[in-house]
């Protein structure tokens, strides 16, 4: 398996459902992670359901380590972030935030060593004692009427946010295309006006006001150079159609 620049460990504490092990391995593979640690798991990574749901993440399950307690799982980590559906109280109101606020801290800490994302068991989540061993607590803002997420879903949300933040900070996301220069847009409007006049969309006293509306519409869209070229092509095609019609109607 190719190595990943994302030096983040996924820690599942006491997982009970084998399918969630497989779902976690799959999304880890999707997001470029490979370091999985299970703390006193009840579910078996070799269970058929775990293998079926891992989908190309079988190697992650095979290489995953099993340890007795949370301290051992993150002993070498420079930062640990837990997850919790519950907030408030003495143990869950400090250093808590949604994924997009906490995850960048993990990204920054990766320069110094491995970091860990910790998820609790399906029925109850992390205990207060386990929460106190985490530097930060991630709370996914779900609907209060039913806040509990499936373990695999929670892992997917956090790892997506982790990869998105990492790509952004390492400048691996393709930059958004810029807006086409004003001069190119002006040339486009000249050609577009000619074409719209030839097909009689612009005519009479309302031609200027209609063209102003067209300019305003395109200008508000802040077209990219590629989009301006596409509109140049549209103008050429309109002029060609108008010329064909004139040729067909000549005696």
Check: CATH 1.10.150 for 182-249?
Answer: no
- Residues 86-98, mean pLDDT to the nearest whole number: 71
Q: Round to whole Å and give the CA distance between 19 and 15.
A: 10
The answer on pLDDT for 134 being more than 80 is: yes
Please state the rounded mean pLDDT for residues 32-54.
Answer: 96
Average of pLDDT values for 149-171? 91
From CA 151, how far away is CA 23, in angstroms rounded? 9
103 burial (CB, 10 Å; 0-12 / 13-18 / 19+) is buried
What's this model's pTM, rounded to 2 decimal places? 0.70
Q: Thinking of the domain 8-169, which architecture would CATH place it in?
A: 3-Layer(aba) Sandwich (3.40)
Confidence bin at 174 (pLDDT 50/70/90) = low
> Given phi > 0 = left and psi -120 to 50 = alpha, else beta, which region is 25?
alpha
Find, among 33, 13, 17, the residue nearest to 25 by Cα. Answer: 33
Beta carbons of 9 and 28 less than 8 angstroms apart: no
Burial of residue 224, with CB atoms counted within 10 A of its CB: 0-12 exposed, 13-18 middle, 19 or more buried: middle
Q: List all residues 6 or more positions away from 189 whose beta carbon is below 8 Å from its beta carbon.
A: 211, 214, 215, 218
Structure tokens at 44: 């078996």
Which of 90, 23, 8 has the alpha carbon at shortest distance from 58? Answer: 23
Output the pLDDT for position 85: 80
Q: How many angstroms separate the CA atoms of 223 and 180, rounded?
A: 6
DSSP letter assigned to residue 228: H
Radius of gyration of the chain (CA): 28
- pLDDT bin (cut points 50, 70, 90) of residue 3 is very low
Region 176-197: what's the mean pLDDT?
88
Domain boundaries in the chain? 8-169, 182-249
Distances (CA, A) of 28 to 134, 160, 162, 190: 21, 9, 11, 52
pLDDT of 246 strictly over 60: yes
Whether residue 44 is predicted with pLDDT greater than 90 in this model: the reply is yes
Place of tokens 């612009």: 202
Q: What is the rounded CA–CA span in Å between residue 221 and residue 203? A: 25
């Amino acid at each position: 398996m190719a190595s990943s620049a994302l030096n983040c460990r996924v820690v599942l504490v006491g997982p009970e459902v084998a399918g969630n092990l497989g779902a976690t391995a799959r999304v880890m593979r999707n997001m470029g992670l490979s370091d999985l640690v299970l703390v006193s798991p009840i579910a078996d990574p070799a269970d058929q359901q775990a293998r079926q749901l891992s989908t190309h993440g079988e190697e992650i399950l095979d290489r995953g380590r099993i340890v007795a307690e949370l301290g051992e799982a993150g002993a070498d980590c420079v930062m640990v972030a837990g997850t919790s559906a519950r907030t408030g109280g003495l143990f869950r109101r400090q250093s808590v935030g949604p994924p997009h606020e906490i995850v960048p801290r993990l990204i920054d800490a990766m320069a110094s060593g491995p970091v860990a994302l910790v998820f609790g068991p399906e029925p109850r989540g992390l205990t207060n004692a386990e929460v106190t061993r985490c530097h930060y607590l991630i709370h996914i803002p779900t609907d209060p009427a039913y806040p509990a997420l499936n373990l695999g879903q929670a892992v997917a949300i956090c790892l997506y946010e982790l990869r998105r933040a990492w790509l952004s900070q390492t400048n691996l996301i393709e930059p958004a295309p810029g807006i086409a220069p004003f001069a190119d847009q002006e040339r486009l409007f000249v050609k577009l006006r000619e074409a719209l006049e030839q097909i009689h969309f612009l005519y009479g006293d309302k031609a200027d006001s209609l063209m102003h509306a067209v300019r305003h519409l395109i200008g508000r869209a802040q077209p990219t150079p590629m989009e301006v070229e596409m509109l140049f092509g549209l103008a050429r095609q309109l002029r060609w159609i108008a010329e064909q019609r004139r040729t067909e109607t000549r005696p």
